[in-house]
Chains A and B, each alone.
Chain A
C-alpha cells in the first residue's frame, strides 16, 4: 500500500442558487497521489482551492467530477461517489483530519475531545485518555486545562487540542489543514516532530502549511495547486 490515495481528474465548483445560480469554479483536473511515509504539501496562494481539495478528500465537500480512490478495509473505494456510511467508515478507519479550527462541544473536556476518535474506534476509554494525556503533555497544553471544555481556550490552545485529536489515531492517511497557523515556535517544533513520527510509522500525510519554515521541515513533495485552477483547463 505504497500509494494509499489517488486523485484523478477531480473538479469542484460552487453553484450559488441564492445569487441567481452563479457558478464559482474552484478546481478542475486535480490529479495526484500520495505515498505512505511521505508528507505531501499542497502549495499555492490563498483561494487556489487547497482547502477545498482536502475537504473533498475527507468527504466534507461534494465532488463534481473525477475519482478519489482510497485503500480502505482491504479494498478500493471511490470517495467521490461513496455512500455516507462508507465515508464514515473511511473516516473512522483510514483517513484522519486536522481541521483549521476546533469545533467545540459544550461540556466535553479537552481530554475527552482528544480521546474521542480512539473511543469511536472501539478502544477502551481509559486507555484512550492515557494516550490523550501523553499527546497533550507533548503539545505543552497546561494540565489544568485538560479537564475543561475547550470552548473558552485561546486559539493556540484550541489548535493544540485539535492537533492532538488528529494525531492520536493511527489512520494510514492524515490530512492537515494549516495545523500550525496559530502556534508559537516551540509548539510548531512539536508538530514537526509529530509529523516526522507519523512519516516514520508509514502514514501518508497531505497538508497545507502557510508557515514557510514548517513547510520546509516537513514537505517531501509540494503540489502546486495553481496547476488545477478551474479556468486553466477550460482555456
Chain B
C-alpha cells in the first residue's frame, strides 16, 4: 500500500515530529510551562487547530483511535475535516465515542464522559499566554512566569468583579498548575476547569500560530484562580438538556426560528446521543462532576443569569466571542 499514510505517516516529517515530541516531553516535565516550538505550516489556516493537529500528528500511532470535537460536537466542519485529515494521512481508526478513543483532539470542550488513564486530550489553543491581554510584551510575560509574578492575573479578575459584580470570565479561565505556573486552559468554558484537576488522562495543549506547547500530566493539580470573597464557581443551568434531559452538563443554545424560539441542548453531542439511545443506562447516575472532578467540583455553584434559558437576552452566552 503506497498511499500518503505509508509514504509519510501522519503528514509531518519524522524530524518535525521528533522536535514536537521533545517540546511535549518538556511540557510534561514542567506542567503548565509554555514550551516554544517550531510550528510548521499546516494544510489549513491558523485558527483552525494547526497547533492541536501538529501535537496529534506527533503522538498518534497506527493503533490509535481518534476522536475530534469542536465545541463538544463531533459533526461540525472543523471536527469532520480534522478527522478526515488524519484518516487520510495516518490511516487511523476514528470514532465519536469518547470512551473508546485513545486520542481526543478538542476545540474548546472537555467531554462529559470521564476520561480514563491512557487517554490523551489534545487542546487547540489560539492564545496560550494568560497574561497577554494585560501585558502585551512577551519579554515581560516570560519574566513574570519565570519569577512567578502573577498579581496581574488577579487584576483581570478584579476588573470582572468591579464591572459585573462577580467574576464574569466564563471561558479561558486562568488556572494555577501544581502551585506554580498560571496557565490558560484554552477557551474551554470554565465549566470544564474542574475536569482538568487531577484528570487521569494526559492533557496536551498546542498553539500553532503562537508556536507554544504546554501540558498537564495525569493527576496534576489544576486550581482556578479566585478571591477569598469571590470563590471560583462553574456555570449551572436551570433547565436540563432539551433533547436528553441531562442535568449538570454544559448546554449550548440552539436558535430554532427567527421569532425568538430556541432551546438548550448538550454541547457534547456524543454524550447526548448516547443518553437518548439508552435513557435507562446506569452510566448517567452520579456523574455530575464530570471527568477527574477533584476538590473544585464540590464548590457550591450558583446559577448565572447570563446563561438562563428563558427569556433570551441579547448577546448573552456569547462571551466566548
| In the complex, A touching B (Cβ < 8 A) | no
The residues of A with any CB-CB pair to B shorter than 8 Å are none
Question: Measuring CB to CB, which residues of chain B are less than 8 angstroms from any residue of chain A?
Answer: none
